[in-house]
Amino acid sequence: MAKKSTLDRPAKHDTSFKRVAILFAGGPAPGANAVISAAAVSFLRNGIEVVGVKHGYSSLIDYSPEKPLVEGEDYVMIDHKMLSRTRNRAGIIIGTARANPGKLVSAPEHLEDPERSAPLKNVYEGLSSIGVDALISIGGDDTLKTANKIKMYQDRLPEGSHKIPVVHLPKTIDNDYCGIDFTFGYFTAVDFLAREVRNLLADAEANRCYFLAESMGRSAGWLAYGVAIAGEASLVVSVEDIAGKYRTTEEVDNPVTGEKETREVMNMQEVMRRVVLTMTTREKEGKTYGVIVVAEGLAELLPYEYIKGVGRDDHGHIQISAVNLHALFSKLIAEEYKRQTGKKRDVKPVQLGYEARCTPPHAFDVMLGSQLGVGAYRALVENGLNGVMVSVEGQLQLLYVPFDELVDPQTLVTVVRYIEPESDFQSLTRFLETYVNEEDIAG
């Protein structure tokens, strides 16, 4: 038998799969089409049909036999022509949405409740109705939770029932995913937003003012830190930085029970003092300008007086857009600067993030996304896996992480991957931004 050449096509594997579905949910990310395209072409070249579910779970969540899925409206049949030159294309060729079929399921026993599990049942039956044999889920941690719930729902089906294996591909420009070092779109988003910060820095220098730039990053500071490093910001503050004297507690009334409960929140006074210390230190260096980057996730740590009445989304997250964190911080920083110095300094609020989510991906994100897409095929067809997240390490070496290692079996929630305190990555930012002596903070 001739030795296999590295130029030979990947070996074709026998499989019972005839049709797989690809679904993208949550916020967009650069490289999305590289993931979708690489996954789809891998199946198509091995004789397996590919369904592109349109706009996440929006149609599946409401499926019923009386409301069947409509080709062209609820899903598309992906072919080679549709995939032509798509890996580097901006946007998402099958669309996305935040519909959450697992919203009512927050514990394993909820899957036994027909009412709570009805949306998951609709998803399963909707996919089955169009002949889907496997599901590829692409999305953030909330979408991972949904993928896990769909698998768990099927685990409880009667013996002999049609089962749809589920493989998940991690996506978020926030890069706060356990089980993978970097998510596709992160570096593209960092580069795009860093260019904006550098533009703001030139504007600030010309006008002798400051910009307060709010960066995406709900749970962790990876994006804010990356943007600050590459954008040469004066200071970055994220959720990981709210520790020690920068964190405090408050007593609030639980809106449901009416009972008192304790929340951990930002010590607003200390945080504002620390930001102003960067400003006054820069003035001693002859710099009357700068850009401060803050992560949007700080809104979750605001004292209750600032978030009273703010709603939450289907996944239980505070509606950050209703908080207007960048405007709030700009106002408080300007007030603290005047209190400390007796002078006025303009601090202009800017929100960064949405404009980076659909920008054309950089080469690394195309390569990373493509490998994850191919990994979906290899997980399902080559390895016969179910309930795993595709990941990479080293030189884009594939590995498959079971849902059980990523999702708490009791609460069914995922664990956020924070920047580790005093890690080399965090220290990098502190080395590069304006050095301050915290003993100089005014009382």
Tell whether the model's pLDDT for residue 67 goes beyond 80: yes
Query: Which range (125-134, 315-324, 330-339, 402-411) has the least confidence?
Result: 315-324
pTM of the complete model beyond 0.85 = yes
- The mean pLDDT value for 98-110 works out to 95
Predicted local distance difference test score (pLDDT) of residue 33: 97
Mean predicted confidence (pLDDT) in 258-283: 92
Give the pLDDT confidence score for residue 256 in this predicted structure: 60
The kind and range of the H/E element at 20 are strand 19-24
What is the model's pLDDT at position 14? 86
pLDDT of amino acid 129: 97
Q: Where are the domains of the chain?
A: 19-182+361-405, 186-357+420-440
Mean pLDDT within 251-258 = 72
Work out the mean pLDDT of the chain and round it to a whole number.
93
- Asked, colleague to colleague, whether 19-182+361-405 and 186-357+420-440 share their fold, the answer is yes
- Reference 218, options 163, 171, 172; nearest CA is 172
- pLDDT at residue 437 in the model: 79
Q: How confident is the model at residue 79 (pLDDT cuts 50, 70, 90)?
A: very high
pLDDT of residue 252: 79
Bridge partners (DSSP) of residue 414 are: 407
- For residues 275-287, average pLDDT: 96
- Its CATH class, for the domain covering 19-182+361-405, is alpha beta
Determine the Cα–Cα distance for residues 108 and 51; give it in Å rounded to an integer. 29
DSSP-based three-state secondary structure for 56: coil
Provide the 3-class DSSP secondary structure of residue 120.
helix
How does pLDDT run across 159-208, given as a tens digit for each residue? Answer: 999 999 999 999 999 999 999 999 999 999 999 999 999 999 999 999 99
- What is the average per-residue pLDDT within 131-157? 96
Intra-chain end-to-end CA distance of the chain, in Å: 80
Helix or strand run (H / E) with residue 215: strand 210-215
Q: Rounded to 5 degrees, what are φ and ψ at 36?
A: -60, -45
- CATH architecture, domain 186-357+420-440: 3-Layer(aba) Sandwich (3.40)
